[in-house]
Amino acid sequence: MNLRKYKNEGNMNINHIRYVQEVFPHCAIGKENYKGKIEVYMEPGEYIMDYCDEYQFIKETYNDNSWSGEVLVNHYFNHLVDQYRPKHLQVVLFATTSGHFPIEISKEK
């Protein structure tokens, strides 16, 4: 998927982006579907994402596919770093399933 991005410069110079997106993956470890909520806190660097493209990327990559929570967080974190080069980034996943208690997994730079 070719994701559009825009230079964060000049009069734009955005300094904070936060978004939340639900995902519905299949857990590779627990062997059952779970409901997750990805929260992203980003201080943009050189680029700002196209929100529509990023939304599609999340849906196509994580919904109905096999991802443990830890692997999903790591994968999405690395994707954001590679694509947009943020100054600061935190990716948090809140996951619920019938197989265990609710969990929160995060990665930050």
List, for residues 27-76, the tens digit of each pLDDT value. Answer: 888 888 999 999 999 999 999 999 999 999 999 999 999 999 999 999 99
Tens of pLDDT, residue by residue over 3-36, are 999 999 887 889 999 999 999 999 888 888 999 9
Beta-carbon contacts of 9 under 8 Å, excluding residues fewer than 6 positions away, are none
Q: What dihedral angle (degrees, nearest 10) is formed by the CA atoms of 55, 61, 63, 64?
A: 160
Cα–Cα distance between 76 and 68 in angstroms, integer? Answer: 12
